[in-house]
Amino acid sequence: MGLMHHETDQSESGATGDAYQNGSDTRLPPAARESLSRWLRMQAERSLQDLPAIVAKHAVFHSPVGLEPYRGRELVCLVLGTAAAVFDDFRYHRCYYSPSGAVLEFSARIRGQQLRGVHMIAFDAAGKIVEVEKMVRPSAAAVMLGNAIGEKSGPQIRALRGNADQPIRQL
């Protein structure tokens, strides 16, 4: 399965070129293109409140600092929304498409630390996001990200995972 590559660089406002901005690569099925377009718009606007509409009920999120995935729409949306809220200067740079997903390269800052990363996103036949894996480098930035998410949403994450009495560990 081949990937199609599209390079872009967002402007300071977060805007990108048309094909990238709206997820219009024809390798993605129409429903997945629509979800990706909405994802990109939410990221550019720094508002993921509508994320549940494009995330499947049994979605999975893989954290850059932990091996145990986060399962279920509510938990996936909470972690992704919190991550978006703690990043500064977030912008996408390149995108690779396949018939079942996309890999989006990004840069951002967390607590003053510059980072690079990717979102690997898989879609189901209905175009819903079923899996997101976030990879971040350098490792110090990944640890800062995990700590910031834990500080901001740790109690909610623990409650959704069913271990509300446990102290939050690295995400």
Tens digits of residue pLDDT in 126-167:
999 999 999 999 999 999 999 999 999 999 999 998 865 555
Cβ neighbours, 10 Å, residue 68: 10
Fill in the DSSP letter of residue 51.
Answer: G
DSSP single-letter state for residue 53? G
69-98 per-position pLDDT tens digit:
999 999 999 999 999 999 999 999 999 999
Confidence (pTM): 0.83
In DSSP terms, which residues pair with 115 in a beta bridge? 108
Q: Contact 80/48 with Cβ under 8 angstroms? A: yes
Rounded CA-CA distance 46/13 in Å is: 11
Domain boundaries defined on the chain: 5-9+17-161
**What is 5-9+17-161's CATH number?**
3.10.450.50
Q: Which comes out higher in pLDDT, residue 26 or 114?
A: 114
